[in-house]
Structure 1
Amino acid sequence: MYAKDWLNNAHALMHTIEESQMENVKKAATIMADSIQAGRWVHTWGCGHATIPCEEMYPRIGGIVGFHPLCELPLTFFTQIIGQMGIHQFLYLERQEGYAQQIMKNYDFSDKDCLWIFSHTGINAVNIDMANEAHKRGMKVIVYGSAGFTGDKPGRHSSGKNLFQCADVVVDSCVPLQDASVTTQHQFDKIGPLSTLGFVSLVWMTVCTVVEILEARGVKLYINPSHNVPGDTTAQQRLDAAIDEYKKRLKVL
């Protein structure tokens, strides 16, 4: 059964992440905790399906204020597939040098901020430029993706580097570069990708670790609560407090 094959691959991936990445997750979470404690931001970035983990962490029930998505619509919304904002345009843009510099001009970054980039292969120019531009502004760069499988393969960038070679901290998603994981009987290409599962799992491993670090430091946290639980009479008040804190931090951008 193809469904069981995918589940087996997913279970194996979770085990590999647990066995190999806990220390790297803690290193990444410590940098993020420093930014949030300073009243600043963990900026999150991804292209294509790598925007899914950015959308997952905030606003989200159980997420905390301190994560700011840098989502560029042409690199995010290509679900029309053809026509305006189609896949052809998206693939072209993510490979172009110089685009990230224009995106970064829109914000007032601080050297107390950090940038969290999601990229499965780490080879496209816009992600590499985002990392380089963040470093120019004094930010630390954290990259999650298939670092072990990409290795030292050159990226689509004039520097010859891939994204993982531009990071201060790398967390390996442990997903093979092909991403799709299930072999079928009659098709050339595999089905059943794993990268989104790996990314979202690592997001919550990381955010939970950030919370653990900040709690130990005595830092007040603003958690996005569930506001759909009958009988919870203070949920809206807690939600409003979280949104107010987000709004306050947003003024510095």
Structure 2
Amino acid sequence: MSYIKQYYDKVQQLLGQVLEEQEQLLDEVAQLMVKAVKEGNSLYLFGASHAGIVAEDAFYRAGGFALFNPIFSPALMLNVEPVTLTSKVERLEGYGQILLHSKPVKAGDVIFIHSVSGRNPVAVDLAIEARQRGMKVVSLTNLTYSKSVTSRHSSGKRLFEVSDFVIDNFGEPGDAAVSIQSLSQKVAPTSTIIGSFVIHSIVLQIITHLEQSGSDVPIFRSANLDGGDDYNETMMSKYKEQIHYM
């Protein structure tokens, strides 16, 4: 079997597992977010380094939910040089608290934190601080991976241990999934594909519940379609109290 086919089969298996075992959980998270939105609260997304790709994928894009507010830090993004700085900063205890303090968060808000290993202080700090502020914490992690490693946070906690809702990406420890005959290191990570499926599935359930209640659905239109800019500008003005990235 080719390496590509092995990868395809693995991704397909994981997508099926997420759907079969966690569809209800994804719906519960969507309902939590709908409740927050209806009460005038805000939704936040965070991930460090490659985990942050899911946050980038979910906000400010055509067909995307307009009320997702990313928490970005230049030191944790992949365009920083040297890129190894991201690994050092995500292990810096207290930095997550600083990031959260930079946003107008309040009790009733929801934060979605993606961390595959769930062991590094920046994600754990964010979760602990968010809960102390009365926010709800949704984590996307790899439980098998996370339970096989120790925390790098002084509390000894990993992300799944300080979250209100825990979504498992069902990946392998180390994330990469395809064994290569000549290498000891596996290749082809699965967390980004699964993470994007998870967050967009949550969006679909958010839309479902908003529609069922007769509420408006704040979804972006493509800026490259006629009328897209005007539509998006009107929508962002309407929801300006819940959009913090403009």
Instruction: State if a TM-score over 0.5 links the two structures.
Output: yes
Q: Deviations over 1:53-110 (max 9, x none)?
A: 1111111111122110001110113x46xxxx32332211111111112222222211
Structure 1 segment 97-112 matched on structure 2, within 5 A: 97-112=93-108
Residue of 169, 184, 197 corresponding to 1:188 = 184
Provide runs of 4+ in structure 1 moved above 6 Å: none
Match of 2:237 in 1: 244
Residue of 71, 88, 93 corresponding to 2:84 = 88
Q: What letter is aligned with 2:231?
A: R
Contact 1:152 1:162 in 2 (8 A): no
CA–CA distance in 1 between the matches of 2:206 and 2:143?
22
Residue of 150, 153, 167 corresponding to 1:154 = 150
2:220 aligned with 1:224: yes
Structure 1 residues 10, 112: CA separation in 2 closer, same or farther (over 3 Å shift)? same
Farther-moved stretch of structure 1 (131-140 vs 95-104): 95-104
Contact 2:76 2:90 in 1 (8 A): yes
Match of 1:39 in 2: 40
Q: Deviations over 1:209-242 (max 9, x none)?
A: 111112222221221013434xxx5433322222
Match of 1:71 in 2: 72
- Length-normalised TM-score, structure 2: 0.92
Structure 1 segment 160-171 matched on structure 2, within 5 A: 160-171=156-167
Contact 2:91 2:152 in 1 (8 A): yes
Extract unaligned runs of 5+ from structure 2.
none
Match of 1:51 in 2: 52
Match of 1:144 in 2: 140
2:114 aligned with 1:114: no
Contact 2:25 2:167 in 1 (8 A): yes
CA–CA distance in 1 between the matches of 2:144 and 2:208?
27
CA–CA distance in 2 between the matches of 1:237 and 1:69?
23
Contact 1:98 1:126 in 2 (8 A): yes
2:12 aligned with 1:19: no
Extract unaligned runs of 5+ from structure 1.
none
Q: What letter is aligned with 2:159?
A: L
Q: Secondary structure at the match of 1:249?
A: coil
Contact 1:37 1:214 in 2 (8 A): no
- Length-normalised TM-score, structure 1: 0.90
Deviation of 1:148 (Å): 4.1
Structure 1 residues 36, 9: CA separation in 2 closer, same or farther (over 3 Å shift)? same
Structure 1 residues 234, 91: CA separation in 2 closer, same or farther (over 3 Å shift)? closer
Residue of 209, 223, 232 corresponding to 2:205 = 209
Q: Deviations over 1:177-216 (max 9, x none)?
A: 2211111121121111101011001011111111111222
Q: What letter is aligned with 1:179?
A: D
Structure 1 residues 21, 118: CA separation in 2 closer, same or farther (over 3 Å shift)? same
CA–CA distance in 2 between the matches of 1:110 and 1:65?
19
CA–CA distance in 2 between the matches of 1:224 and 1:69?
15
CA–CA distance in 1 between the matches of 2:191 and 2:49?
12
